[in-house]
Amino acid sequence: MENNRVYNFNPGPAMLPLEVLKEAQSEMLNFKNSGMSILEISHRAKKYDEVHNQAKADIKELMGLGDDYEVLFIQGGASMQFNMVPQNFAIDGKIGNYILSGSFASKAYKEACILGEAHVAASSKEIQFKHIPTQEEITLSNNAAYLHVCYNNTIYGTEYHYIPETKGIPLIADMSSDMLSRPLDFSKFSLIYAGVQKNLGPAGVCLIVARKSFIENSPQALPTMLRYDTYGKNNSLYNTPPAFGIYMIGKVAAWIKKQGGLEAMGKLNAAKAKLVYDAIDNSNGFYRGHADKDSRSLMNITFRLPSEELEAKFAAEARQHELCGVKGHRSVGGMRTSIYNAMPMEGCQALAAFMEKFKNENI
């Protein structure tokens, strides 16, 4: 690959578009004739303001959302949202409802339980989180404040292929690992959050896209930095924002627009994933996918080999072929290849060819 880079299949922090990295590199010493880098500019400067507001506008444009939605940048990662969500919305006798579809979905639920009562609306824990609960499996409590879903389960390699119907109960989604990877009717969601270090930029920023009316008034007793309304009313500039991260998100959003937006991104991501899933499905059982077929993720592909020895050998040999970060999460074992937006088609072609070769040599 160009510039001695490798195909990076890590789950996050993950690969960023080379074009974006080069652009950031070229601006590093002197951002837009300011004589400073973006890392050194005041967050109150006009030049930063433009970066900040353009990133917000491009994200909303990509998502097809209008003035009734707000884009926020909050620190603390997606994990901070696990507690901000119940603190802001599980109030007035209402409780958070959660679908347990994997590890991060369960962590979100656990955090809500620390703060008070929460309800499990559906779970696939009993079947090792191999599938995404269906609409029929969801039972909301009668005092539901919201339904929280983890839209793509990074560790288990499953993803929603439908939007849950909640009959007016606000829908909240953790889209950390599939944000802006395909078109969706985002207006069905009251709040979406995503730690950006997978599909959108460097670690250190959580992107939140929420209906303005939903985040307008946080409970009075909440500290300033834990209130969504603090960020909403201050354009995410109440305190010093993670400016470099936001600058990179802006560049990635502009890059996605250049690729043809979410429609084009979705088609490309589906074609990339098909290459790898075909390598699994056509291996006569040498590779065994973890996720049920109807719940397969287009972003994180999880599979096992016939033995742990072969799995270790697979990871080591993949590295020699410049295919990095293919080892699965310790809780699932096996392999996991993360193919976010920035992974080019050629990376998936190289992976599929390697899988075929490895199978033939080790069957």
Ligand X SMILES: Cc1ncc(COP(=O)(O)O)c(C=O)c1O
Considering only residues 84 through 123, tell me which ones interact with ligand X, judged by CB under 6 A: 104
Q: Which is nearer to ligand X, 104 or 244 (CB)?
A: 104
Q: Which is nearer to ligand X, 77 or 333 (CB)?
A: 77
Q: Which is nearer to ligand X, 70 or 174 (CB)?
A: 174
DSSP assignment letter at 2: G
Least CB distance to ligand X at residue 245 (A): 11
Q: Give the residue among 273, 276, 287 at the shortest CA–CA distance from 360.
A: 287
Q: Which is nearer to ligand X, 159 or 358 (CB)?
A: 159
Least CB distance to ligand X at residue 319 (A): 22
Q: Which is nearer to ligand X, 111 or 174 (CB)?
A: 174
Quick check: 333 binds ligand X (CB under 6 A)? no
Least CB distance to ligand X at residue 362 (A): 30
Report, in this order, helix, strand and coil percent for the chain, each rounded to 5: 40, 15, 40
Considering only residues 145 through 174, tell me which ones interact with ligand X, judged by CB under 6 A: 150, 154, 174
Give the H/E segment covering residue 77.
helix 77-89
Q: What are the residue ranges of helices labelled H in 90-167?
A: 103-115
Quick check: 299 binds ligand X (CB under 6 A)? no
Six-digit token pair at 184? 């969706």
Amino acid at 120: V
Quick check: 315 binds ligand X (CB under 6 A)? no
For 152, the 3-state DSSP assignment is: strand
Quick check: 202 binds ligand X (CB under 6 A)? no
Q: Give the residue among 255, 274, 284 at the shortest CA–CA distance from 352.
A: 274
* C-beta of residue 294 within 8 angstroms of C-beta of residue 161: yes
Applying CB under 6 A, among 12, 164, 325, 334 the residue interacting with ligand X is: 12
Applying CB under 6 A, among 15, 41, 78, 301 the residue interacting with ligand X is: 78
Q: Which is nearer to ligand X, 41 or 155 (CB)?
A: 155
* Distant-in-sequence, close-in-space partners of 250: CB < 8 Å, separation ≥ 6: 51, 52, 54, 55, 58
Pairing of strands 335-338, 323-324: unpaired
Least CB distance to ligand X at residue 94 (A): 23
* Distant-in-sequence, close-in-space partners of 181: CB < 8 Å, separation ≥ 6: 199, 262, 265, 266, 269, 298, 299, 340, 341
Quick check: 192 binds ligand X (CB under 6 A)? no
Least CB distance to ligand X at residue 175 (A): 8
Least CB distance to ligand X at residue 176 (A): 4
Least CB distance to ligand X at residue 104 (A): 4
Total residues binding ligand X (CB under 6 A): 11
Q: Which is nearer to ligand X, 202 or 219 (CB)?
A: 202
Sequence-ordered strand ranges (E) for 62-117: 69-74, 95-100
Pairing of strands 171-174, 152-153: unpaired
The binding site for ligand X (CB under 6 A) comprises 12, 77-79, 104, 150, 154, 174, 176-177, 195
